[in-house]
Amino acid sequence: MNFFTDWPIVSFIALIIGFGFLIFIHELGHFAVAKWVGIRCTQFAIGFGQSLLTYRKGIGFRVGTTEGVYEKRAIAHLDQKHATPHPGEHQSVAQYDDFTKTESRPGKYTPQQVHEAADELGLGETEYRLNWMPLGGYVKMLGQEDLDPNARSGDPRSFNNKSIGARAAVISAGVVMNTITGLIFFIIAFSIGVDFPSATVGATLPGSPAATTYASGHDGDPAYFGLRPGDRIVEINDKPIRDLTGVKIATALGGEGEPLHFEIDRPGQDGELSYTLVASRPTGERLLSVGIIPTAGLTVSAVIKDSTASKAGVKGGMKVSAVEGEPVSTYAQFVDAVDAQHGRPVAVTFVDPQTQATVEAQLTAEPLLVRPDYDTPSNLLGLVPAVEIGPSEPDSPAAKAGVQEGDLLARLGGVDWPAMDEVRKIVLDASGPLDLTVFREGKLVALEPVEPNYKGLIGISLAPFLDQPVIGKTLPGSPAASLDIVGGSKLLSLNDQPIADWGAFQRLLVELPEGPQSISLGLELNLASTPTESVTLDLNEANRQTLAYARWSAPGGVMFLTKQATVVANNPIHAMGLGLEYTGEFIIQTYVTLRRLIEGSVSVRDLRGPAGIVDEGTKAAERGWPYYWFFLGLISVNLAVINFLPIPIVDGGHIVFLIIEKIKGSPASPAIQMGAMWIGLALIGAIFLVVTYNDIARIFFGIS
């Protein structure tokens, strides 16, 4: 039984406990080193705000604070040691704002005398507090106030009276503790074994750099055009890659326009292949990407209801064992076997691992057509499929305009039969309502104008219409450009062989005899009318060459579990080595992320705040204990890095002021420190508000 997945609330509680522990460890570092160098620590708190429960040696547990009892006993002890004061001569220390701010008071006893008296009574100098808002913690040291640079004390045990080295050690201790804790969590995780998405290519996005770049030394050879299913990524820019997460991080944090050098291990290929990819952003995406899709295993995760596979009896948990009677052992072999059938129905055998019962389903792959880059829509010889409208969001602009699932998009914003990428641009550039016409039940239907909502969307899903060979548009400069085919025309035949859909058209084209030739295309000129004609298209060798890049997808209706690569240590020493490697990598990645934020290749909208971390952390916890420990290690390391940035109010900012004090021989003026503190506080507060807003929008409203 997995408590994380069977009881989701357990994931949430485990995450909160984990975060609390990381905060405790950070503050414990400050506290322990402060004690070690002889600084008097008056409070050690988990959380902020008023105290719920406190403990102090010599007083015990209290609901609320122990400070009043501490002061009362110390003052009573002083009164006994000295002559009892006349009424009104002494004022309780508790009446003052903060007795750590000055070295004496108008009353009879100084704060230092009160502390010394408490020490004589055996009262603990530190109050341990659990505060009502458990979102952080702090250590309160005598003579040190984060929010008040004027805080000073004449007590020799105060923070401000310690050497610069001692103060630097105290401030750095929290970061050091978080780094060590992250390392320990990584060691625990890798001793058990952590599953990551395998660094093996499952597919590539059509038109992406990963799909449209030749291997070094193999330019012009279709066999080396783009990464292929089954390719294992070994290195990027000479750095070893263990899993696909590392690939995504390396590409997302790569500089704009900077080449990434991939070393690839391809099954059946002697030696490694080198690909130089320049990451880009697909339309509508913010992060840089090369377009690699994770590889799947052969185990079925889910089957779409009423699909061919579902009707044949295929169920989740089954595993592919053969294609057309030939055994397959990897997803890449499965894809290659399907691809070899050129879109014809494929007999796929599934086996139930529990009962060993087998099921055979006739599945059909969909054509991927040819897409040379992100900016060019998928096409065959320049003929682009029409766009089909999928389900629209309830109450969306498109739904209110009358759009229905299955409509073909015939006109939007003055553009006839736009391609999918054009639709995105038309909507993003809209400054008002867009005219909208669809093809429905054999005729063109003009709908109400549609106006993008506040998200810049009209609320429809789009896909190439592949069920029938309806042409949306013809690409300029393509083989078919001279034919003047209007949008909405339909392919009927190729060399008198009927064309039922785009899959049949792709298959007939790729199976043409070799060499230049002329082909005859039968066309229905417009879906809204009936005239037909036959046109001739001359194919030269260059045109034929483009057809070698036509591919097929895996059969639809079946979804497979992502293939995992387990990173597990051979022994404790190896686990420590892995922990050190991941700790160092994540420290560097955090700083690179901040650099990319400044450069603009990473957006603040891609960062996660507290709500986002909890959301992601709950998902991490649901993946089991090993990934839970790994995630906490990751957060701990990031806490260390963020805390050591040279921003006033965090530990790194305090270190900067200590360096200034060392150089100039005296502290920066209180005015400068106060100004820097407020700037830092405003900066952190602004980032907190932005990322929290983005988290809420992403989690609850699906706005990314």
Render pLDDT for 320-339 as a digit per residue (tens, 0 to 9): 999 999 999 999 899 889 88
Percent of the chain topping pLDDT 70:
86
Range of lowest pLDDT (76-80, 312-316, 679-683) = 679-683
Looking at residue 149, its pLDDT comes to 62
Q: Domain for residue 205, yes or no?
A: no
Contact 411, 513 (CB under 8 A): no
Are 345 and 418 within one domain? no
Q: Domain for residue 145, yes or no?
A: yes
- What is the rounded average pLDDT of the residues 416-428? 87
Are 189 and 157 within one domain? no
Q: Domain for residue 577, yes or no?
A: yes
This prediction's pTM: 0.69
Looking at residue 395, its pLDDT comes to 83
Q: CA-CA distance, 527 to 442, in Å (whole number)?
A: 7
Q: What is the CATH number of the domain that holds 299?
A: 2.30.42.10
412 φ/ψ angles, rounded to the nearest 5 degrees: -150, 125
Per DSSP, the three-state class of 68 is helix
Q: How many distinct structural domains can be found in the chain?
A: 4
Instruction: List all residues 6 or more positions away from 326 whose beta carbon is below 8 Å from its beta carbon.
Output: 337
Range of lowest pLDDT (95-109, 447-461, 591-605, 625-639) = 95-109
Of 461-470, 534-543, 562-571, highest mean pLDDT: 461-470
Average pLDDT over the chain, rounded to an integer: 84
Are 379 and 518 within one domain? yes
Does position 688 have pLDDT exceeding 80, yes or no?
A: no
Are 696 and 631 within one domain? yes
Are 48 and 169 within one domain? no
Instruction: List all residues 6 or more positions away from 345 whose beta carbon is below 8 Å from its beta carbon.
Output: 362, 363, 364
Last residue of a domain, one of 347, 368, 389: 368
Residue 125 corresponds to which tokens in the numbers above?
């100098």
Last residue of a domain, one of 304, 334, 368: 368
Does position 617 have pLDDT exceeding 80, yes or no?
A: no
Q: Domain for residue 622, yes or no?
A: yes
Are 395 and 523 within one domain? yes
Q: Domain for residue 486, yes or no?
A: yes
Looking at residue 500, its pLDDT comes to 93
Predicted confidence band of residue 96 (pLDDT cuts 50, 70, 90): very low
Q: Domain for residue 100, yes or no?
A: yes
Last residue of a domain, one of 344, 368, 392: 368
Please give the sequence-ordered ranges of beta strands (E in DSSP) within 164-314, or none if there are none.
194-197, 201-204, 232-236, 239-240, 259-265, 273-278, 292-294, 296-303
Does position 160 have pLDDT exceeding 50, yes or no?
A: yes
Are 335 and 378 within one domain? no
Looking at residue 1, its pLDDT comes to 47
Residue 281 or 42, more confident = 42
135 φ/ψ angles, rounded to the nearest 5 degrees: -120, 25
Looking at residue 699, its pLDDT comes to 54
Are 576 and 596 within one domain? yes
Looking at residue 695, its pLDDT comes to 60
Looking at residue 361, its pLDDT comes to 94
Are 390 and 337 within one domain? no
**In this structure, is the dihedral angle defined by the CA atoms of residues 147, 152, 157 and 162, taken in order, positive or negative?**
positive
Closest CA to 550 of 596, 486, 584, 502: 502
Closest CA to 509 of 539, 475, 473, 542: 539
Of 89-103, 196-210, 638-652, highest mean pLDDT: 196-210
Contact 422, 361 (CB under 8 A): no
Does position 625 have pLDDT exceeding 50, yes or no?
A: yes
Predicted confidence band of residue 91 (pLDDT cuts 50, 70, 90): very low
Are 154 and 170 within one domain? no
Does position 671 have pLDDT exceeding 80, yes or no?
A: yes
Q: What are the angstrom distances between the C-alpha of 470 and each of 206, 475, 510, 523?
A: 20, 15, 19, 10
Are 76 and 151 within one domain? yes
| Tens-place pLDDT, residues 350-408 | 999 999 999 999 999 989 999 888 788 899 999 999 999 988 778 888 888 999 999 99
- What is the rounded average pLDDT of the residues 286-309? 88
Of 193-202, 516-525, 594-603, highest mean pLDDT: 193-202
Range of lowest pLDDT (141-155, 311-325, 448-462, 488-502) = 141-155
Q: Domain for residue 236, yes or no?
A: no
| 704 CA to centre of own chain | 11
- What is the rounded average pLDDT of the residues 265-284? 86
Q: Domain for residue 223, yes or no?
A: no
Percent of the chain topping pLDDT 90:
37
Domain that holds residue 489: 369-547
- What is the rounded average pLDDT of the residues 202-218? 90
Q: CA-CA distance, 572 to 524, in Å (whole number)?
A: 70
Contact 426, 398 (CB under 8 A): no
Residue 379 corresponds to which tokens in the numbers above?
């096409």
- What is the rounded average pLDDT of the residues 633-639? 85
Looking at residue 371, its pLDDT comes to 87
Per DSSP, the three-state class of 506 is helix
Instruction: List all residues 6 or more positions away from 184 whose beta carbon is below 8 Å from its beta carbon.
Output: 579, 633
Looking at residue 540, its pLDDT comes to 86
Are 375 and 514 within one domain? yes
